[in-house]
Structure 1
Amino acid sequence: MMVAVLGGGGWLAVSVFKPAGDASESTLHTVARRSFPVIIESKGELKAKKTTEVKCKVEGRSTIIWLIEEGTTVAEGDLLVRLASDQIDERVQQEEANEASAIAALEAAEKDLEILIDQNLSDIRKSELAVEIAGIELEKYTKGDAVKTLKTNELAIDRVAQSLKRADLEFTAARQLREKGWMTESDYLEKEFALKEAERAVETSNLDLHVFQTYTHPKDLRQRESDVDEAKKELERVRKSALAKEAQRKAEVEAKRAALLNAQNNLKKFREQKEYTEIKAPAPGLVVFDTGNRWDPAKIAEGGEVFEYQTIVSLPDTTVMIVSVRIHEAKTNLITIGQKATIEIEGIPDVIFSGEVSKIAPLADSRNQWLNPDLKEYETEITLETNEHDLKPGVTARSEILVSELKDVVAVPLQAVYSKGGKHYVFKPSGPAAEPIEVNLGESSNDYVEVTSGLDTGERVYLAVSDDAKRLLPEVDSSAAGPMNASAVSSGGTRSVSGSGGAPARRAGGPGRGPAGGSRGGGRRG
C-alpha cells in the first residue's frame, strides 16, 4: 500500500505498510504460552582443577641428560628430569674436605678455652651466689617484712579508731544521762577519760605509721638495695677479669666455629644442589612440558639447557577437571556459584558431561584487552562431576549453563521483537498495515523471549517487516531514553533499530562476544 507524506518541501510516496516480502501467513507468528530453559552457551578450554608446577632449583644453567616422556601419568615421587651434575659432584668433595679440617681446628681451640674457663668458674659462682642472697634479702624485706610492718600499723590504727568511735558514743550517752541526773559524776569522768585515752591512742598509732613510712622503711630499703648493688658490682668485676683473660681464646674459637659453619653451609648447599639434579614429581598428575609464552618460548628436551626457577614440567591432576570459559560482562549478573551446566568435549561425540559453576572471577580478564579494549569478560570455571573418559587438559569444550526454567509464559520469537530508545516493540497486523506495539520483556533464550505485558495469547505478530515499516516506530528523545531491558539484552538479544529506522537488525549485547557466546533455550535441552 502506498501513502503520500510531506517531507523535504514536497510529497514523497513511501511503502509503510508492506511487511518484508509478502504479507503472507509465513511471516506471521501466533502468540502462545511456552516453557523453555534460559541457557548461557560458552566455548572454553578443558583444564585440571589443580595443577602443580615443577621448577628447576639448580643454580645457573644446567643441561638435561634424561627426560620423562610427555603425556606420562606419574605418581608422587616419580623421576621426571635428570640434570647433569659433574661440576656439583666436584664441589661436594671439596667442601667435605674443608669441613673435616674446620672440625679439627675448632676442637683444639675449644679445649684450650675450657682450661681457662674452669679457673674462673669458681669465683664467678661465688659472686653470683652473693648477688642471689642479697636479692633474696631485698625481696624478703619488700614483699615480707615491710609489708607485714605496714599492715600491723594500719591494723593498729583501725583498732584504735574503732575504740575511739565506741568511746565517743559512750561519752555522748553518759553526758545525756548526767544532764538528766541518771549518772554519777565519777562514772561520767571515767567515760570522759576513756574518750581522751582513745584519742591519744589514735594519735600514737598514726605517729608510728608515719615514722615507719618516713624514716624506718626508706632506711632499711636503701640498705638492702645497696647490698644488692654492691654484690652485682663485685660480680661484674669478677666477670670482667675473667673475660679479659678469655677474650683472645674465645675470639679464636669463634673464628674456627665460623669457618666450620661456612664449610658446612657450603657442603649442605651443594648436596642440595646434587639432589635437585634429580627432579621428582611432588604430586600425581599428567606430565606436560612447559613451552614458555609467545614472547619467550621454551623448548624442553634432552640436551637442552634450563635455568634456576624455570618451570620445566606442569602436572595437572586430571582426577578433577574444569572447563574454563569467558562470560561477557552483560551476562555475569545471570550466573551464580552452584548453577548446573552440561558440557560437550571436542573429540568425544554423543557424550554429555554434567557439572556446575564453581568459580567466577571477581574482576574482568584483561589479557586480550589489547585486541579489543571494549571487550570485558569474566573467567568462569565449571567443575565436571566425574572424569570417566580420561580427559586431558587443553581440549576445546562447549558448555551450557542453566540460568533458569521459564514455565508457561507468554513468549514470542526473538526476531519478532525490535528495540528503539530503550523500549521494545512488536508489529501486529492492522488491516493491510503493520502496527508497532510496545511490549515489556522478561528473560529470553536464543529462540524466544518472555513478554510480560503488551501481548496476549492468540494474537499474531510479524516475524519480519520492511525498513519502511520500521519507520513507524515512535521517535524517542535520546537524552530521556533509559537503558534497554537488561535481562532481555543479556539473555538473548532483540533487533535494534536506529533513530532513522534504517539500521539492520543485530544481536543485542554488541559485537566482539568471542567465546562468551549467548544464552539460548531449547536445543537438546528443550
Structure 2
Amino acid sequence: MTDQKDSGKLNTKWGIVLVLILIIAGGSLYAAKTADFGQDQTALINEPFFEVKTGPLTISVSESGTIQAKEMVILKSEVEGRSTILSLVPEGTEVKKGDLLVELDASSMVDQSIAQKIAVQNATAAYVRARENLAVVENQAKSDVELAELNLQFAKEDLSKYRDGEYPKLLKEAQSKITLASETLVKATEDLKWSRILFDKKYLSQTKLQEQELTAHKAKTDLELAKADLDLLVDYTYQRQINQLESDFNQAEMAFEREQRKARASVIDASADLYAKEAQLLQETSRLKKLEEQIQKAKIFAPTDGLVIYASSAKSNRRGNEEPLAEGQEVHEREELIYLPTTSSVKAEIKLHESNLDKVSLGLPARVTLDAVPGKEYLAKVTKISPLPDAQSVWLNPDLKVYTT
C-alpha cells in the first residue's frame, strides 16, 4: 500500500513539471513570433503601395522585321542565259510609266537575228519551190494518168474493133472472093468448053482458043488464091492480130495502173517535201521571233509610275550577303532586278519564332515602331501568318523554326 501511494505522488509531480515546461516553451515561441511580426510590419511600411484595378491582361510579342511596300511590281530579267547590264536607272528615282529602267547587252542576239533572217529567207524560198513543185507534180501526174487511161481506152477499142468489126469484114471479103472466083472459074471453064467445040469446027481461031484457055487458067488460079487468103486469115492473121491487140490492151491496162501508182507516189513525195519545208520555215520563223522578243526584253521599261528600289538592296536587308545591282554586272534569267512599289501603303514583315506562334492569330492588333522615326508608333493588324516555317532559316539552322508573319 505504501509503495502504491509513493508511486502515485511521483507521477503527479512529474506531470506538473511537464506542464510547466510546455508553458515556458509556448511563451518563448509566442515571443519569437511577436518579434518577427513586428519586423514584417516594419518592412511592409517601408515598401511602396499600388492601387489594384480591373483591366485587360496584355500578352505581347516583340520581333524585329522589315518594312515593305504592300503592293509592288517585281521586274525580272527575261533574257535567256546570262547577260550584262549596260545601263541602270539610279535607285530611288521616281519614274513614270514607259521610262527605261534597265538595258541588257543584246549584241550577240542582234547578230544571231541577222543570220536568222537569212535562214528565214532561205526557208521561205525552199517552201515556195516545194509548193510550186507540188503543183507541177500534181499537174504532170494528172496528165500522165489521163494519157495512160486514153491509151487503155484506145487499146480496148482496137481489140473490140478488130474482133467485132474488121475481122468479120475481112472474113466476109475473103469468102466473097472465093465465091466470085469460083463462079468466074465455072464460067471460064464453060466458055473454054464451047470454044474448043467451035475451034474443032473451024469456027474459032487458035488465038481465041488460047485466050479462052488463059482466062480459065486465071480463074482457077484466082480461086486457089482466094482460098489461100481465107485460110491465112482464119488460121494465122486473125489469131496473131487478136493476140497482139489483147497484149496491147493488157499492157495499156498495166501502164494505166503504174501511172496511177506513180502519180500518187509523186504527189505524196512532193507533199511530204512541202510539209517538211513548211515545218522548217515555221521553225526558222519561230526562232527569229524568239530572238526579236529576246532583243526587246533586253530593255526593261517601267510598267507603271513608282519609286525604283533595287532587288539586291531589299534582299541584302534580309540576308546581308546580296551583291549590289550595278552596271556591268551579269544577271541570269528570272533574276529579280527592280521592285517598283505601286501604292503608298506598306506592310511590316517579321520572323515569328515557333514558341510565340500560339500567341499570335489573324486580326490581332499590332504596334509598329521605326528606327528612322523614333518615339512614334503606327497601328497595324496581323493579316497573314505563313503555314510553314521559313525555308532559308531552317536551312541555315535546322533547330530554328520561324514563320513569316
Q: Give the TM-score taking structure 2 as reference length.
A: 0.52
Q: More deviation in 65-74 or 287-296?
A: 287-296
Could you report, residue by residue, the CA deviation over 1:247-268 in whole angstroms, capped at 9, with x for unpaired residues?
2212221232233223212211
1:259 to 273, 276, 280: 280
Counterpart for residue 92 of structure 1: 113
Q: Is the contact between residue 286 and residue 318 of structure 1 (CA under 8 Å) also seen in structure 2?
A: no
Offset, 1:34? 2.7
1:335 to 351, 360, 385: 360
Equivalent residues in 2 for 1:282-321, closer than 5 Å? 282-291=303-312, 297-321=322-346
- Per the alignment, in what secondary structure is the counterpart of residue 282 of structure 2? helix
- Per the alignment, in what secondary structure is the counterpart of residue 358 of structure 1? coil
- Evaluate the alpha carbon distance shift between residue 277 and residue 378 of structure 1 in structure 2; reply closer, same or farther with a 3 A threshold: closer
Unaligned 5+ residue runs, structure 2? 1-35, 143-258
Q: Is the contact between residue 77 and residue 281 of structure 1 (CA under 8 Å) also seen in structure 2?
A: yes
Counterpart for residue 54 of structure 2: 34
Counterpart for residue 23 of structure 1: 43
Equivalent residues in 2 for 1:357-372, closer than 5 Å? 357-365=382-390, 367-369=392-394
Offset, 1:116? 4.2
Could you report, residue by residue, the CA deviation over 1:22-57 in whole angstroms, capped at 9, with x for unpaired residues?
823354656723324625242322112234332222
- Per the alignment, in what secondary structure is the counterpart of residue 85 of structure 2? strand
- Per the alignment, in what secondary structure is the counterpart of residue 283 of structure 2? helix
Q: Please say if 1:101 is aligned against 2:122.
A: yes
Query: Which amino acid is the alignment partner of residue 80 of structure 2?
Result: E
- Per the alignment, in what secondary structure is the counterpart of residue 360 of structure 1? coil
Query: Which amino acid is the alignment partner of residue 357 of structure 2?
Result: T
Larger radius of gyration: 2
Unaligned 5+ residue runs, structure 1? 1-15, 122-237, 381-526
- Evaluate the alpha carbon distance shift between residue 371 and residue 98 of structure 1 in structure 2; reply closer, same or farther with a 3 A threshold: closer
- Per the alignment, in what secondary structure is the counterpart of residue 54 of structure 2? strand
Could you report, residue by residue, the CA deviation over 1:245-288 in whole angstroms, capped at 9, with x for unpaired residues?
31221222123223322321221121112101111234554322
Q: What is the CA RMSD across the aligned residues, in angstroms?
A: 3.9
- Evaluate the alpha carbon distance shift between residue 30 and residue 301 of structure 1 in structure 2; reply closer, same or farther with a 3 A threshold: closer
Q: Please say if 1:50 is aligned against 2:71.
A: yes
2:98 to 77, 81, 86: 77
- Per the alignment, in what secondary structure is the counterpart of residue 378 of structure 1? strand
Counterpart for residue 238 of structure 2: none
- Evaluate the alpha carbon distance shift between residue 264 and residue 373 of structure 1 in structure 2; reply closer, same or farther with a 3 A threshold: closer
Equivalent residues in 2 for 1:110-259, closer than 5 Å? 110-117=131-138, 243-259=264-280
Query: Which amino acid is the alignment partner of residue 312 of structure 1?
Result: L
- Per the alignment, in what secondary structure is the counterpart of residue 334 of structure 2? coil
Query: How far, CA to CA, are the matches of 2:341 and 2:116 in structure 1?
Result: 39
Could you report, residue by residue, the CA deviation over 1:139-192 in whole angstroms, capped at 9, with x for unpaired residues?
xxxxxxxxxxxxxxxxxxxxxxxxxxxxxxxxxxxxxxxxxxxxxxxxxxxxxx
Query: Which amino acid is the alignment partner of residue 347 of structure 1?
Result: A
- Larger fraction in strand: 1
Q: Is the contact between residue 311 and residue 339 of structure 2 (CA under 8 Å) also seen in structure 1?
A: yes
Q: Which 4+ residue blocks in structure 1 deviate beyond 6 angstroms?
A: 16-20, 118-121, 238-241
- Larger fraction in helix: 2
Query: How far, CA to CA, are the matches of 1:74 and 1:290 in structure 2?
Result: 16
Q: Is the contact between residue 290 and residue 298 of structure 1 (CA under 8 Å) also seen in structure 2?
A: no
Counterpart for residue 384 of structure 1: none
Q: Is the contact between residue 61 and residue 356 of structure 2 (CA under 8 Å) also seen in structure 1?
A: no
Query: Which amino acid is the alignment partner of residue 44 of structure 2?
Result: S
Could you report, residue by residue, the CA deviation over 1:440-468 in whole angstroms, capped at 9, with x for unpaired residues?
xxxxxxxxxxxxxxxxxxxxxxxxxxxxx
- Report the number of matched residues: 251
1:64 to 79, 85, 100: 85
Q: Percent identity?
A: 33
Query: Which amino acid is the alignment partner of residue 79 of structure 1?
Result: L
